[in-house]
Amino acid sequence: MRPLCSLCAGLCALVLLSHSAAEAQPAVPLRQAADQHTYLPSAALKQWLPSWLRFSGEERVRLEGFSGNGFLPNADDAYLLSRLRLNLAIVPAGWMKFHFQAEDSRVAGKNLKPNAPPFQDTFDLRLAFVELGDTERNHCSLRFGRQELNLGEERLIGSSDWINTPRSFDAARVSLRQGKYRLDLFAASPVVLHDGDVGDHVPGNNIHGLYGGLDNVVPQAKIEPYLFWRLNQRQKTEAGTTGNLDFTVAGIRWVGKLPNGFDYSFEAAREQGSLGTDRIAAWAGHWLVGYAMPARWKSRLLAEFNYATGDSDAKDGRRQTFDQLFASGHEKYGLADQVGWKNIVHGRTGVEWRPATKWLATTKFGGYWLADPHDALYNSSGTALLRSAAGTAGRFVGTELDGSVTYVYSKQLKIGGGLGHLFAAGFLHRVASGKGYSYPYLALTATL
């Protein structure tokens, strides 16, 4: 418990520092001050290298911990995560680029041994792809090899960069662009990491898809329809036999701005298909409205609602729990990451504000209910945490209060901290001890 207390004390110090810095008047403009503190080794190295060869890197260190793991007492931990990335780009021609990224991820001081993903010590070739054309500018381009797939807000497909060993895919991706219209076509398999060995994909575990975009067809809006096809082999059915997973996900994401400082975001997806003899039918939705206040600190108020179906009967051959696929789940439904986009009803409100140019602070509060009381509570990675198969534990999970602060010291250095606490309610009191869950962190990211 003592390491966790130290972490919370450090977080409080960061918040106090942010308040002091906001009141201080710098002697030079903030942008100029940032430039004075910026030194990028990669920029210095660039002066000595041929123009077709580029190096860059990033080091991230995060001290984090938790209390109330599994919503049980005396289940605390605090540990240090570090992640070093080294990037190499070879650009023999404007239309051809080769990208490589080596990543070394380490964890120190963790109580639970051996370390399970994503807390394993790994060294991996995370990215290795060739890009023909420019995926953001050219009418047609291709990326082939090990790469990231980050689509929309990454609620279904993303690299999950927050974790220490983020996701990559062995994939082929074609990008088509014409004025206001765009379309990405891809075939991919997620990479599985192994200690002491380069990660590899598992044959038969695939995600294919079409991801479209219509920019400003509706004024000040972006509309993104999509269709995914998910395949996997030798999965367990509700009857306990094995079968192949085969289902589609049809959805749309719509974000935009309205007059008088309002903005909005909407996403909905429906899943249909089969796993062996089981039939799949599930859906999920996300709705958000924001309002930029005309205030000195450039505040933005927000209110959002999230829903994802659950399964009322785990033995009837109908799978109704929404599958969030390969989501980047951090902070989508709470900073503590104890809730994912599966079997959940979630409402949240909050405020974001900038007390100074280089500072961003957020505060959010929300509540959770199970969509179906017979199904489980799932965390941000989609793992089932707790379940009442009889459905007698109720639906109300609890409430969560989050706060975070980010300070951009320069182009090279960013510092942040946050604290999320989930207050346990009826469901957690009946299926566990009802202990609340806390997650504090302090992070530093340096661009090399």
pLDDT of 121 reads 80
The H or E element spanning position 92 is strand 77-93
- Higher per-residue pLDDT: 212 or 50: 212
**pLDDT cut 70: percent of the chain above it:** 90
Rounded to an integer, what distance in angstroms lies between the CA atom of residue 104 and that of residue 124?
Answer: 7
Q: What angle do CA 425, 426, 427 make, to 5 degrees?
A: 100
Q: The tokens 């939705």 sit on which residue? A: 285
Rounded to an integer, what distance in angstroms lies between the CA atom of residue 151 and that of residue 154?
Answer: 5
Which range among 32-36, 148-152, 328-332 shows the weakest confidence by mean pLDDT?
32-36
Say yes or no to pLDDT of 28 above 50.
no
Say yes or no to pLDDT of 420 above 90.
yes
pLDDT of 22 reads 39
pLDDT band at 176 (very low <50, low <70, confident <90, very high): very high
pLDDT of 9 reads 46
What confidence tens digit (pLDDT) does each residue in 274-292 have? 999 999 999 999 999 999 9
What confidence tens digit (pLDDT) does each residue in 245-262 have? 999 999 999 999 999 999
DSSP 5: H
Secondary structure (3-state) at 2: helix
pLDDT of 250 reads 98
Say yes or no to pLDDT of 360 above 90.
yes
Averaged pLDDT for residues 183-193: 95
Q: Which residues pair with 441 in a beta bridge?
A: 64, 418
pTM of the model: 0.89
Nearest to 57 by CA among 85, 98, 91, 88: 85
Quick check: 365 and 399 in contact, CB under 8 A?
yes
Query: Over the chain, what is the mean pLDDT?
Result: 90
pLDDT of 441 reads 98
Say yes or no to pLDDT of 12 above 70.
no
Say yes or no to pLDDT of 123 above 70.
yes
What confidence tens digit (pLDDT) does each residue in 302-320 have? 999 999 999 999 999 999 9
**pLDDT cut 90: percent of the chain above it:** 79
Rg (CA), the chain: 23
Which range among 20-24, 190-194, 219-223 shows the weakest confidence by mean pLDDT?
20-24
pLDDT band at 35 (very low <50, low <70, confident <90, very high): very low
pLDDT band at 38 (very low <50, low <70, confident <90, very high): low
- Higher per-residue pLDDT: 170 or 74: 170
Quick check: 26 and 359 in contact, CB under 8 A?
no
The H or E element spanning position 280 is strand 278-292
Rounded to an integer, what distance in angstroms lies between the CA atom of residue 127 and that of residue 199?
Answer: 11
Which range among 107-116, 166-175, 332-341, 364-373 shows the weakest confidence by mean pLDDT?
107-116
pLDDT band at 94 (very low <50, low <70, confident <90, very high): confident
Q: Which residues pair with 257 in a beta bridge?
A: 263
Catalogue all structural domains in the chain, each as residue range(s) with its CATH number: 2-447 (2.40.160.100)
Say yes or no to pLDDT of 143 above 80.
yes
Say yes or no to pLDDT of 298 above 90.
no
Quick check: 121 and 109 in contact, CB under 8 A?
no
What the block records as the tokens of 220 is 């000040």
pLDDT of 77 reads 94
